[in-house]
Structure 1
């Protein structure tokens, strides 16, 4: 019997080995794709070929995060724990071997009374089936929690990528302004030296240049901070030799009817991972109630018994069963019923919240799209033309340096506003896609099963 028992083997931590492995992680296309295929994740179909040799794109970064993100590693391990529970949930209890030995104190020929027994706990109420159903439902809920975590990481990488790309654009636009100011500072300084321009006006260009250079330091720091956050999302070390490719590409727009967003109730209900997880948790609550009801009918205890008494042997059966009329598991059943109602309310209220948030995100995205279009079509051409006119007047000797400085800063401000608007619109579109849920294409195997 003892040969079937398992033995304990310690597995001590090795922080140095983990640190070395973390820093040595490589983005080999074969290993990344192979890991994702083993997981059978549908999100991978939303990205084309994985080729990090020319730099890491947004989609490729999302795939890397699915593989190496530390939070997803824990979520999958918890899912494995639930799978182990489900695998061994419906096992019978081990039989119980008992021995009773009594010695008669009086003087008799055979003074020992020995009673060995072997009892089995026999589930006659369907409790084991209910236990298995609960374990299976718990495992499915853990799987949905993992999928929900993967979708959240997918969205977090995208949002951080947009933030990083916008931060780079802010730096580039500020560098262009500083380059233009460098030329104007030299020109205005020469004019001030020759007495053709007041020193007070020339110093304004110098002050503007110093302020922009000072602000550029913070902007470059912002780029570095967001880049390190991106690497953390992807599970890579801060010094990982990875080249990131900026992108502010807008996710596809969701359905719009008559100029106003139509709430995609069916899409949210079918695709949103949070709702899928809550439906799985409701099934857990159902199975928990089923188990508690089954537990009010106790197991039957039955087994053979042998006894020797005063030299006489007896063979028979020993059994027993508790009578469920005082306790009958009433407390656990009542708690499970309330737990089921809580799970139902959690699903229904989450759907209501998601529908409202989707509409708000759609309205925001539509407003930002209109604002961005107007900036690109109206404001940017206006400030560019104003700057060109101011430069021409200065060259003809008819304009003032203050007008040129104002035109230059207005052009920079407008382009910065365009960057912020495009970022806000991209984040709003990303929110719409996140709230709706991932698009899961029909698998060929599923299509074959549905073919008559």
Structure 2
């Protein structure tokens, strides 16, 4: 009896010390106020870019943003990408949690005799219990969590690839509309002189209203084109700012970036090889494959959970008559009703959906690549023809403008030629933009760089 008392007196300080050490290692809560972050200077780490062309480009916004710098800033600062990276951070935290061993459960209780009598002592019970099933399932849980993390990493990479294409396309649209607006505005002085000439002829009685309506309407149409282009340009610039994560008051100065001519924009020679290797090149397809592997692990885990959950514990107790006992306890569930059938059915159906999603995505990707490949030759031909026509009409318009100013060309011929030049120029610009977008989409769909292998982290 004295020996047991001495043992308890010795164990109590150590138990208290162990408890205090455990509490000292716990995380502490720190409040994070919800407030608007102040504007930060533009900074891009080129080493973190997802494509070689971006990693090799020097980011220097002091002289304006070229097309590649716009793509780099979008990858680094896009709000939707930041949320996706936050989701990835949550998943990595969940993977860390899945790797931790389950904590044992310690219990202690004491019974105090209500009545006094010879030989009565305070009774106590102490025990420790460990969930065995959690230990058995830990391996499959960790595997599924690691695969889910890798899937989100590849989803992020695919989102970055798509964002690069979107940023480049928006940059091209803004720059093209800026040039178009400048060209349209440069025609206003000549059209104003035309309006004055027509008004003078009307006042002199040399023209009737129905004859003069043609040139006057062309002037109104030019002003409408200017207003529509300016409104469209304003929307595009705000869209680009949102894409880059910039506020509405941020200065956005874009500069030209060398763009291949239409003659150089051809279908890649190795398109068939890339198309065949699409499942190993496209991050989204790799993500779906890894997600399917993660679902297989979750299904195996659900199957294992249908067996009884087991817990094991050790106990040490003393009753009021001062009799001490040592023992153990084993607990398990009886698989009579649930038996994990619901969880297995859910995981099986989820696996089937992921299987179908992968097949659908792969078929859609191949179909889209094939469509662009067939469309590109005709699109290149039309763009080149429109550019040649636009350049020829631009030269003819310059000659016509001078002839009209010298009184050697009537206003009807001048308006007809000028209107045709504007229309063909706008068509050439739109065709060139469509061609650039299709080329960029083709590069994205085919996968311009092999992702990191599934076994490695980024």
How far did residue 4 of structure 1 move?
A: 3.3
- Secondary structure of 1:126's match? helix
Shift of the 253–306 alpha-carbon distance from structure 1 to 2, 3 Å rule, reads: same
Shift of the 396–318 alpha-carbon distance from structure 1 to 2, 3 Å rule, reads: closer
**Residue 243, structure 1, aligned to residue 243, structure 2:** no
**Residue 344, structure 1, aligned to residue 363, structure 2:** no
- Aligned mates of 1:314, 1:390 — CA distance in 2: 111
**Residue 254, structure 1, aligned to residue 254, structure 2:** no
- Secondary structure of 1:89's match? helix
Matching residue of 2:73:
64
- Aligned mates of 2:404, 2:104 — CA distance in 1: 101
- Aligned mates of 1:442, 1:273 — CA distance in 2: 9
Aligned length: 428
Alignment of 1:28-427 (within 5 A): 31-33=43-45, 36-37=46-47, 39=48, 41-42=50-51, 45=54, 48-101=57-110, 109-110=119-120, 113-123=123-133, 126-187=136-197, 201=211, 204-246=214-256, 249=259, 253-255=266-268, 262=272, 264-309=274-319, 310-324=321-335, 327-378=338-389, 380-381=391-392, 384-385=395-396, 388=399, 400-427=410-437
Matching residue of 1:12:
33
Matching residue of 2:9:
none
Shift of the 176–362 alpha-carbon distance from structure 1 to 2, 3 Å rule, reads: farther
- Secondary structure of 1:6's match? coil
Q: Does the aligned pair in 2 maintain the 1:138–1:281 contact within 8 Å?
A: yes
Q: Does the aligned pair in 1 maintain the 2:390–2:428 contact within 8 Å?
A: no
How far did residue 67 of structure 1 move?
A: 1.3
- Secondary structure of 2:318's match? strand
- Aligned mates of 2:273, 2:368 — CA distance in 1: 10
Shift of the 218–389 alpha-carbon distance from structure 1 to 2, 3 Å rule, reads: closer
Question: Unpaired segments of 5 or more residues in structure 1?
Answer: 447-452
TM-score normalised per structure 2? 0.82
Q: Does the aligned pair in 2 maintain the 1:248–1:426 contact within 8 Å?
A: no
TM-score normalised per structure 1? 0.83
Shift of the 331–396 alpha-carbon distance from structure 1 to 2, 3 Å rule, reads: closer
- 160-169 or 199-208: which moved more? 199-208
Question: Unpaired segments of 5 or more residues in structure 2?
Answer: 1-18
- Aligned mates of 1:240, 1:78 — CA distance in 2: 28
Q: Does the aligned pair in 2 maintain the 1:120–1:301 contact within 8 Å?
A: yes
Shift of the 318–247 alpha-carbon distance from structure 1 to 2, 3 Å rule, reads: same
- Aligned mates of 1:274, 1:170 — CA distance in 2: 37
- Secondary structure of 2:267's match? coil
- Aligned mates of 2:414, 2:54 — CA distance in 1: 52
Once the two structures are superposed, what CA deviation does each residue of 1:114-164 show, in whole Å capped at 9, x if it has no partner? 332211223487300011111111111111121122122212212211221
